[in-house]
Chains A and B, each alone.
Chain A
Amino acid sequence: MTNINLTSTTVTAGPTAPSAARPPRSGRNQGSRARAVKRAKAISLNGFGLIIALVTLFPIFIMISTAFKPSQEIYSLTPNLLPAHPTLSNLTQVMSGKVSGIGTVWLFFRNSVVVALATVLIASVLALLASVAVARFRFRMRTTFLIVLLIVQMIPGQALIIALFLDFKALNLLDSLVGLIVAYSAQALPVTIWMLRNFVATIPKELEEAAAIDGATGPRIFWRILFPLVMPGLVATSIFAFITAYNEYIFALTFLGQTHSDYTFPIYLTYFFGQHGAEWGPIMAASTMYTIPAIIFFLIVRRRLVGGLTAGAVKG
């Protein structure tokens, strides 16, 4: 506490002090004072960081805590942060499918994962090819294509969904996971191409040129040199595509109406919620089960994901 007070006084003293007041260690007294200021600064920064982190984590904490609370604790007028008598009954109810009435949670989890993995596969292959074209070749229409990508990225899903709904209806792709995979893959493409292009562009061209001089052909250069180097980027974009598909709501809401067994996890969750609005225990249990895979995925690749997304955002 005293340290924090100290910071505020010395920091406000800072600007009034002439610039010459900070020569390297002009005296023992000043040195220890500067160290104290530094420490106080570090403590207040860390305190601030701690508050931000805890506030940010709080909702997730509440979700998990509610998932393990028996119902009399959930509706108590003085909520406890932690369950006083933790129970697994919410989870088992969700897993057995008893509460939702349309199936066990695993079915919807499987649907979501299948859709997301298929999206990753399609989007990664198409985007990798396109990104090599854009990053390594100069050709007519290149700029046009890049601008189309930027614009497509900005088109809101609500604008397309009406036409897509009618097209998919005509093609019998409604109430099917295939329709979702098609929509999600196309939706993921612009950002994936853009991100991968930035990755490809960072790989020194000299490597490929050297291989070419040694007589390697285009495909060989691609598989032996470019592909291994772009792999980290591919992982990052795959995760991006996976999360986009795993989280998606509006297309799934519109395309999956009739057959409950085709629901993806978010649609199951909202259906469940709509039917049994006040059953917070099971709902939070299902919600936790839906959230945790996404979070784990994010954390495993956190460095690459952040690097990848910001490569897209910072450079793009």
Chain B
Amino acid sequence: MAETIEHEVGLVPGRQRGRPGPLRLRLATFVRRHKLAPYLLLLPAFAGIALVVLWPLVQVVIFSFQNYGLPQITGALPTQWVGFANFSTTFHDPEFWLSLRTSVLFALVAVPVTLLLGSIVGLLLNRLGKRMAVFVSTAALLAWATPPVSAAVLFYWMFSPDGGVVDWALAKLPHWLVGSTNWAQFNWATNGALPAYVLIAVLVIWQAFPFVAVTVLAGLKTIPAELNEAARVDGATSWRVFWRVTFPLMKPIYLVLLLLSVIWDFNIFTQSDIIASLANLNEYNLSLYIYDKAFTFPPSYGLGGALALILAFILLVVTVGYVRASVKQGALT
């Protein structure tokens, strides 16, 4: 307690203690005496979060047990509690399982590749000369800074069969390297889920690896140079130094990066929505499936709510891991 500002101010002798004064002063005294300052400071932010995040969350839980849809909004039919009907409808829909599979597979590919590429670039940035490091990190920042909508449209163009640069380049490469597909005419968006999600994965990785690289670099900078040097003097190779010295010290950072990446890649919506809608893709990932169930005519907010709960439940494990990792790192002190 002794370290709070208010307390320090209270220590100043003879000032304001219980002396009746103008309203402002009396209010200040009241706040101080009851130690209200932190609560008053928190109140606006907490109110915002409560109204725009926590309350809607409660509503979503309520919807998921109701048959809330278009007739209920217009008032044509009353809203009814339907128990777990929305959930059982969902679990009996094969499309739900397919979209869940797509999301899981996507995260299983995109997360490791992002982390690996980001780490390599981060390690590289740490060893490059100053000018080159600035160049590489600027390039990475540009990819990161590109708005996702721009990036999605851009990658769709690059992978387009009429004049897109990727198909052109793939057609130039020898068959033994890229297979015998007729790449010059290959349409990434209309040949089923796999090519479309490969396209989305390349796009997502391109945008996500700079954050990993920069975070890894910041982590590397916190490791005292003497540790690496000592290991090197003892004859350890770069590879050994990384796995025996650097990585153990960076583990907490990697844990946070891993959990954040899982959440981001599992929830990917913007890029997949743009690509999928342009491509008339029928193979949804979980995010698209939820959005489609909730909003596509006829809207079913009950089904959407149930799906949102299922998604939240799946991510709960990751979120708990993230909170625990943060607490362990002393984030709450």
Query: What residues make up the interface of A, taking CB atoms closer than 8 Å to B?
Result: 14-15, 17-19, 22, 42, 45-46, 48-50, 52-54, 56-57, 59-60, 62-63, 66, 74-79, 122, 125-127, 129-130, 132-134, 136-139, 141-143, 145-152, 154-167, 182-183, 185-187, 189-190, 193, 205, 208-209, 212-213, 215-218, 221, 243, 246-247, 249-250, 253-254, 266, 269-270, 273-274, 277-278, 280, 283-284, 287, 290-291, 294-295, 297-299, 302, 306-307, 309-310, 313-316
Find out whether the CB atom of A154 lies under 8 angstroms from the CB atom of B136.
Answer: no
Are A63 and B154 in contact, CB atoms less than 8 angstroms apart? Answer: yes
The 5 closest A-B pairs by CB, nearest first: A19-B235, A186-B52, A163-B56, A133-B41, A298-B145
The residue of chain B having its C-beta at the shortest distance from the C-beta of A192 within the complex is: B45
Q: Are A156 and B267 in contact (CB under 8 A)?
A: yes
User: Is the beta-carbon distance between A130 and B184 smaller than 8 angstroms?
Assistant: no
Q: Which residues of B contact A15 (CB under 8 A)?
A: 235, 237
Q: Which of B35, B263, B267, B323 contacts A158 (CB 8 A)?
A: B267
Kindly state the separation between the CA atoms of A314 and B153 in the bound complex, as whole angstroms. Answer: 32
Bound CA–CA A56/B139 (angstroms): 6
Given the known interface contacts A278-B162, A295-B146, the answer about A133 and B38 at a Cβ–Cβ threshold of 8 Å is: yes
Task: Output the nearest chain B residue to A248 by Cβ-Cβ distance.
Answer: B270
**Chain B residues whose C-beta falls within 8 Å of the C-beta of A316 in the assembled complex:** 256, 326, 329, 331
Q: Which of A18, A50, A53 has the most CB of B within 10 A?
A: A53
Quick check: A249 and B138 within 8 Å, CB to CB?
A: no
| Docked pose: A160 CA to B256 CA in angstroms | 24
- Closest Cβ–Cβ distance, residue B305 to chain A (whole Å): 6
Identify 11 residue pairs between A and B in the complex whose beta-carbon atoms are under 8 Å apart, listed by A's number.
A46-B128, A46-B129, A52-B139, A57-B139, A57-B142, A77-B184, A187-B53, A189-B49, A295-B142, A310-B218, A313-B260
Return B142 CB to nearest CB of chain A, in Å. 6
Query: Which residues from chain A contact B318 at a C-beta distance below 8 Å?
Result: 154
The answer, yes or no, to whether B174 is at the interface (CB within 8 Å) is: no
Q: Are A269 and B42 in contact (CB under 8 A)?
A: no
| Chain B 1-32 near chain A by CB (<8 Å), digits 1 or 0 | 10111101101100100000000000010000
A49-B124, A56-B139, A274-B277 known; A164 vs B290 contact (CB < 8 Å): no
Indicate whether A310 sits within 8 Å of B215 (C-beta atoms), given known contacts A15-B237, A129-B42. yes
When the two chains form the complex, which single residue of A45, A134, A138 contacts B128, counting CB atoms closer than 8 Å? Answer: A45
Closest chain-A Cβ to B63's Cβ sits at a distance in Å of 7
In the bound complex, what is the Cα–Cα distance between A213 and B12 (angstroms)? 7
Which residues of chain B come closer than 8 Å to A134, judged between CB atoms? 38, 42
Decide if A283 touches B163 in the complex (CB within 8 Å): no
Interface pair B323/A147, CB less than 8 Å apart: yes
Q: Is the CB of B177 closer than 8 A to any CB of chain A?
A: no
A159→B154 contact, CB < 8 A: no
Query: CB within 8 A of B147: which of A50, A139, A141, A247?
Result: A247
B residues near A (Cβ < 8 Å) are 1, 3-6, 8-9, 11-12, 15, 28, 35, 37-39, 41-42, 44-46, 48-49, 51-57, 59-60, 63, 73, 121, 124-125, 127-129, 132-133, 135-151, 153-155, 157-158, 160, 162-165, 168, 184, 206, 210-211, 214-215, 218-219, 222, 233-235, 237, 253, 256-257, 260, 263, 267, 269-270, 273-274, 277-278, 287, 290-291, 294-295, 301, 304-305, 308-309, 311-312, 315, 318-319, 322-323, 326-327, 329, 331-332
Chain A binding surface SS class: helix
Closest to B62 in A: A163
Return the contact of A186 from the options B53, B234, B257, B277 (Cβ within 8 A).
B53
Contact B312 A155, beta carbon cutoff 8 Å: yes
CA–CA, A22 and B4, complex, Å = 54
Chain B residue numbers with a CB within 8 Å of A218 are 5-6, 9, 37
Besides A162-B305, A166-B301, A247-B149, 7 other A-B contacts (C-beta < 8 A): A133-B42, A134-B42, A146-B331, A155-B57, A162-B304, A215-B12, A316-B329
- A186 with B127: CB separation less than 8 A: no
Question: B151 to chain A: which residues have CB within 8 Å?
Answer: 59
Closest A residue, CB atoms, query B331: A316
Within the complex, the shortest CB–CB distance from B223 to chain A, in Å, comes to 12
Enumerate chain B residues within 8 angstroms of A249, measured Cβ to Cβ. Answer: 148-149, 269-270, 273-274
Known: A59-B206, A130-B45. A142 touches B38 (CB 8 A): yes
